[in-house]
């Protein structure tokens, strides 16, 4: 992954990315490594984590964010074996098909909540312990534009709304202790998970592109760029923010009664 020399650097800092073996998490891990961070790639897919970490000269950990004891042990091991963690990205998450609630399996609902919300919370708290001792650190959670809109994702969207709210709460909780906590709210991002939904017929690419002012889907690199900024010293006065990275999804919907956003011209 290419990067510009003028971008914020993370030389020598330890950065942990959960869900770092694919999609948005992988893009974040690669960008942080390109900017000098010592990256820890954590994922429940052991082989994928090993592959990405090896390519980045980083460290791979196999961890399931649903397991509180495993997350606590993971954070302690990273601090002991790799070094003090300066940056954390909580990208571990799963998606769901847009099912009516009466057809949504409770087991799937529980799994989405356990990974997207509980796993995010457990990870933030586990890594905050070291940051609190040092009175320094930056965290970025991965939420979604669905956190703020009505969508037929009755497990996924509520967990993302909770993540956005949790981000603001922990920013208030830990700000005086030197920890910044922010979130990005990606729009429809062309990750392997979304591509799988498209392949299953659960999403229509033309509609996803049409529902944005830029007329395209978000790319994982777009999200990684925002995450890196929020983790960097350039964002030293920014905390408690839920930043949309949505190709204009939030803007596009209100144009629908007027025929949609303007077509390209000029």
Catalytic residue among 121, 156, 188, 258: 156
**156 assigned to active site:** yes
Cα–Cα distance between 113 and 58 in angstroms, integer? 29
Q: What does the angle CA 101 – CA 145 – CA 2 come to, to the nearest 5 degrees?
A: 130
Rg (CA), the chain: 18
Region of 13 on the Ramachandran plot (φ > 0 left; ψ -120 to 50 alpha; else beta): beta
Listed as own residue / partner, the contacts of 231-236 with beta carbons closer than 8 Å and 24 or more positions apart are 231/10, 231/15, 231/32, 231/87, 231/89, 231/138, 231/140, 232/8, 232/9, 232/10, 232/138, 233/8, 234/8, 235/138, 235/180, 235/182, 236/180
Token couple for 61: 């950990």
Burial 214-249 (b: 16+ CB within 10 A, else e): eebbbbbebbbbbbbbbbbeebeeebebbbbbbbbb
Cα–Cα distance between 197 and 194 in angstroms, integer? 5
Q: DSSP letters of 24-71? A: HHHHHHHHHHHTT-EEEEEES-HHHHHHHHHHHT-EEEE--TT-HHHH
Just list the catalytic residues.
156
């Amino acid at each position: 992954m290419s990067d510009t020399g003028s971008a914020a650097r993370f030389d020598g800092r330890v950065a942990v990315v959960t869900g770092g073996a694919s999609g948005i998490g992988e893009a974040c891990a690669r960008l942080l490594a390109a900017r000098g961070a010592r990256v820890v790639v954590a994922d429940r897919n052991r082989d994928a984590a090993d592959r990405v970490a090896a390519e980045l000269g980083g460290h791979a950990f196999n961890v399931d964010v649903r397991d509180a004891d495993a997350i606590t042990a993971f954070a302690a091991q990273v601090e002991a074996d790799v070094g003090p963690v300066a940056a954390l990205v909580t990208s571990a998450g799963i998606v769901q098909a847009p099912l009516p609630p009466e057809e949504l399996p409770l087991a799937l609902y529980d799994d989405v909540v356990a990974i997207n919300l509980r796993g995010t919370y457990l990870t933030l708290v586990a890594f905050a312990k070291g940051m609190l001792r040092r009175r320094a650190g930056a965290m970025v959670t991965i939420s979604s534009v669905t956190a703020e809109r009505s969508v037929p994702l009755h497990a996924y969207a509520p967990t993302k709304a909770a993540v956005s709210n949790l981000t603001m709460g922990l920013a208030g909780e830990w700000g005086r202790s030197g920890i910044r906590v922010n979130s990005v709210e990606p729009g429809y991002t062309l990750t392997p998970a979304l591509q799988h939904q498209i392949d299953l017929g659960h999403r229509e690419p033309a509609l996803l592109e049409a529902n944005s002012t830029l007329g395209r889907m978000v790319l994982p690199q777009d999200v990684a760029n925002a995450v890196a900024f929020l983790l960097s010293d350039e964002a030293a006065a920014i905390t408690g923010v839920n930043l949309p990275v949505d190709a204009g999804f939030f803007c596009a919907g209100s144009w629908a009664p007027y025929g949609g956003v303007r077509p390209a011209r000029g």
